[in-house]
Amino acid sequence: MAALGGNIASVQADGAHMAAQLKSTAAGECTIHTLTRQNGTVSEYARADGLIFAVTWHGPARADLRQLLGDHFDTFQTDNAVAGGRRPRRPLAVNRSDFVVRTGGHSGAFWGVATLPQSAPSGCTVNPLQ
């Protein structure tokens, strides 16, 4: 899967896995690969060398963050762990120099953005609602 930090070569496989329609758009120093499904949209931002440096999602259902965050999912889980194993009652987030995640929403309208800030090319803006 073309997860955060992964390679662009598998974006089409993501589209097939998610039963999504794929549209790619050049945007400055990056290419945005947008996967549109009935239950939401996922956008994967790739540098010229194919590295996925950002992923955004929005829609009526929660996104599969294990798929979208890839190797960064464990960090996401660790940074949002609560004593007793309960789920926190706040939006889940990560704020590290090399990995940033913001999530939000409510039933029927979820969104999020995950980036690798140090890997992002200059001149490419990540829009969480794109």
Q: What is the residue whose two structure tokens read 């889980």? A: 77
pLDDT in tens, 63-92: 889 989 999 999 999 999 887 767 667 889
**Residue 26, token pair as written in the block:** 């050049």
Q: What is the pLDDT of residue 60?
A: 94
Adjacent-strand bridge partners of 59: 110
C-alpha atoms less than 13 angstroms from C-alpha of 94 in its C-beta half-sphere? 24
pLDDT of 25-44, one tens digit each?
998 889 999 999 888 999 99
Across the chain, what does the average pLDDT equal? Answer: 88
Q: How confident is the model at residue 128 (pLDDT cuts 50, 70, 90)?
A: low
